[in-house]
Copies of this chain bind each other. A is one copy, B any other.
Amino acid sequence: MAIIVQKFGGTSVGSVDRIQNVANRVTQEVENGNQVVVVVSAMGKTTDELVRLATELNEKPSKREMDMLLTTGEQITISLLTMALQQKGYDAVSYTGWQAGIETESVHGNARITDIKTANIHSQLEKGNIVVVAGFQGLSPEGNITTLGRGGSDTTAVALAAALGAQKCDIYTDVTGVYTTDPRYVKAARKLKSISYDEMLELANLGAGVLHPRAVEFAKNYHLPLEVRSSLELENGTIVEEEASMEQNLVVRGIAFEDNISRITVAGVKNSLTTLSTIFTTLANYHINVDIIIQSITSAGQNALSFSVKTEDVKQTLEVLERYADRIGYEDVEHENDLAKVSIVGSGMFSNPGVAAEMFEVLANQSIEVKMVSTSEIKVSTVVAYGDMIKAIEALHEAFELSVEETVEV
């Protein structure tokens, strides 16, 4: 019998009705003849409510106690889902992270999984039980409850699937799969039948938000196929796997985008070897996330330096730059808000050097000014005015023929 791991997020288990719906999806997989392990998140708004209580009692709650508090959310869901499965006449048992053998680093709030002892789960599966595991949580070597940070339940599901030797891991969410771009913005957006780990990683990192990058990394390392699919609709989702071979000829697979981007330009920077590291180390110390960085050296030996940050971080960025002005050494700082990042992603790009040029041409034809550019082996990111964002996505979606149905089936 094959082992299938299913993961359901907070929205999918947000109410009694939703939990019953999840129970149906789970037992369906049992009826298909599989051994099923289910990983769940906390119910919808539970976490928000707990965080509210915590901040009323402590301005800056300790991370250990936040982990202790928030992990109750998944513990509630596992017991309720198990009850729903038992009500349907199926044998099921719930496990917290530590009961499931999920071991992590001694870090609170953002621990990495170090090992999974699967003996308990295997023995329950052998007894014919559905095993319902709390996502997002684990146990440190000192016996403390830890959490895996953002996207933690995805990571739990994928890590468990790898450790258990599962056939696949299904990530149930509130969308029906991975799209060529966000269908809420672009009508022509089309659901992909499959996508490679690397492409998914770029899309995930670029804010597509369907699947957490850590989970994708994990799946890639263990060659574990994922399926992103809807918890409410029955249709097939998108398979994330080693190589989406049947679509090799499609150079661009998807378009990701993100608004509320700002550009900071530091002019007249002294061209010393350490200046760059000084600036970005200082910003990192203040937890300011810098994305695209562009440096141009003038003949006079001075740098003009531009970088993009989230608009919400602009105020603090400017303050930090001013506070450390002497140490950094520059003449002037400017910033520009109301920008957006638009990126094309596709593993075929690696062997097609003309893709970036094609992208710029498409944008130029729409009179869209490209303010910043950054490239990797399988993506090209541009920063444009927010007002041009949708126009850019639509034009790129059409130019790279993303709405055309994939023709080759395996």
Residues of A within 8 A of B (CB): 16, 19-20, 50, 53-54, 56-59, 61-62, 64-66, 68-69, 71-72, 75-76, 78-80, 82-84, 86-87, 93-94, 96, 99, 120, 143-145
Contact = CB atoms under 8 A, between A and B. Distances in A.
A58 B56 CA distance: 34
A16 B68 contact: no
Nearest to A67: B79
Contact of A53 (B71, B80, B145): B80
Contacts of A66: 79
A25 to B, nearest CB: 15
A57 B99 contact: no
B64 A93 contact: yes
Nearest to A73: B72
A159 to B, nearest CB: 20
Contacts of A76: 50, 53, 69, 72
B94 A57 contact: no
Given A53-B76, A53-B80, A61-B83, 9 more contacts: A16-B57, A57-B84, A57-B87, A65-B94, A68-B78, A69-B76, A69-B80, A71-B75, A72-B75
5 contacts: A16-B53, A19-B57, A20-B57, A62-B83, A120-B143
A145 B80 CA distance: 15
Contacts of A56: 16
A99 B146 CA distance: 13
Given A75-B75, A93-B64, A86 B69 contact: no
Contact of A62 (B16, B19, B69, B86): B86
Nearest to A93: B64
A96 B186 CA distance: 49
Nearest to A88: B58
Nearest to A75: B72
A83 B54 contact: yes
Contacts of A145: 96
Contacts of A59: 87
B79 A58 contact: no
A19 B65 CA distance: 15
Contacts of A72: 72, 75-76
Nearest to A69: B79
A83 B58 CA distance: 6
A87 B57 CA distance: 7
Contacts of A94: 64-65, 68
A13 to B, nearest CB: 11
Which of A57, A87, A143 has the largest number of chain B CB atoms within 10 A?
Answer: A57
Contacts of A62: 82-83, 86
Contacts of A65: 79, 82-83, 86, 94
A187 B272 CA distance: 86
A58 B87 contact: yes
A58 B78 CA distance: 14
Contacts of A78: 68
A58 B75 contact: no
A208 to B, nearest CB: 33
Contacts of A53: 16, 76, 80
Contacts of A68: 75, 78-79, 82, 94, 96
Nearest to A139: B99
